[in-house]
Amino acid sequence: MRLPWGDAGGMLGASGAIAGLMGLYTVLYGKRKVRFFYWFFVFFDYVKKPAIILLPLWLGWELIQFFFGGYGVAYEAHIGGIIGGVLLGLGILKLGWENRDFLDEETRRDHDRDLFSEAMDDLKELRVDAARQKLKQLLPQHGRDLELLKRYYNTCKLQPEHPDFHDAARRVLLHTDQGTEQNTLIRDTFRDYARTAKGKIRLSQSERETLTIRLANWGYLQEAGLLANALLKQANPSPESAEAILALGHACSVQGNPSNAKHYLLQIIQRFPSSREAVTARDLLKSLDPQAR
């Protein structure tokens, strides 16, 4: 703690180390913008400015307190800590030891948040192309965000002739997160996509097979049936299609729809007679109709 000149004393506290961290981070963040909290009597708010601006403010404040403040606070420790942190930060930058991804994270978040907000403003003004492009820019970083994918799809479907419409639908339909809300969104998106695309669904065969299995397992038999029927219309369906159709046949039997279950199980036996799915289909068929062979 600060004592009158010439008096002996000791210090105990962490404020010098904290000041060192403050000096260190102002140098590491540099021109990257950070939040500045400020207040004026009862009013307070924050602004975003480059972090390096804080360095002269903090150091200047400590110098003023050192020369004109009262006793009882180790202002010299604060000053030394800030300077030490600055030197340490400069050394880290010189050696290239800084974690730039961590330092840039908040800047990226702010940029993405602003970009999303701009896209929503574009939609309000019916600037569909601009909104679609802005949302598309967010996909590489936030392609797992189902809410973003939903907004992207709803924007793209305003221009269903654009290739991005099919890409947007695919991103939602093949999303791997599961849960009642997510499953319902995928089902509703598929219904809307099939209707808007007028049946011209641009999914690969493997994607159709995957989606058929998922929809069947979730109990959405009508939607799964639409995909399964498309698989069966192929002249030479792949062996993997048998698994998707079997999933639908099993789901129909579980949900008390024996006629549809028999239809799909018989299709497996007829189209894939040597497959292991055909063996399972025969067993399921016998459980539905003991006279079935």
With a threshold of 0.85, does the pTM exceed it?
no
Q: What's the confidence (pLDDT) of residue 47?
A: 81
For position 137, what pLDDT does the model report? 97
What percentage of the chain exceeds 70 in pLDDT?
Answer: 93
pLDDT of residue 76: 84
Q: What is the mean pLDDT of the chain?
A: 89
User: Which region among 34-48, 158-172, 214-228, 270-284 has the lowest average model confidence (pLDDT)?
Assistant: 34-48
CB 278 within 8 A of CB 269: yes
Least confident of 65-69, 219-223, 229-233: 65-69
Cβ atoms 32, 51 nearer than 8 A? yes
On the question of a common fold for 100-202 and 209-293, the answer reads: yes
- pLDDT of 292 over the 60 cut: no
What are the start-end ranges of the H helices in the chain? 15-29, 54-68, 75-95, 100-124, 128-142, 146-156, 163-173, 180-196, 205-217, 221-232, 239-254, 258-271, 276-288
Sequence spans of domains, the chain: 15-98, 100-202, 209-293
> What does the pLDDT look like over 73-130, one tens digit per residue?
778 888 899 999 999 999 999 999 988 888 888 888 889 999 999 999 999 999 999 9
Q: pLDDT above 90 covers what percent of the chain?
A: 63
Per-residue pLDDT at 245 exceeds 60: yes
Query: Is the pLDDT reported for residue 4 higher than 70?
Result: no
Question: Pick from 212, 206, 207, 193: which is nearest to 251 by CA?
Answer: 212
Report the alpha-carbon distance of residue 76 to residue 4 in Å, rounded.
13
Maximal C-alpha separation, the chain: 108
Out of 29-43, 50-64, 100-114, 154-168, give the one with best mean pLDDT. Answer: 154-168
Lookup: tokens for 61: 């404040």
Q: What is the CATH number of domain 100-202?
A: 1.25.40
With bands split at pLDDT 50, 70 and 90, how would you rate the model's confidence at 290? low
Q: Does position 19 have pLDDT exceeding 60, yes or no?
A: yes
The tens digit of pLDDT for each residue in 60-72 reads 888 888 888 766 6
Q: Residue 229 — pLDDT band, cuts 50, 70, 90?
A: very high
Would you state the pLDDT for residue 13?
A: 66
Burial of 85 (0-12, 13-18, 19+ CB in 10 A): buried
DSSP-assigned letters across all residues of 194-242 = HHHTTT-----HHHHHHHHHHHHHTT-HHHHHHHHHHHHTSSS--HHHH
- Is the domain covering 209-293 a CATH 1.25.40.10 domain? yes
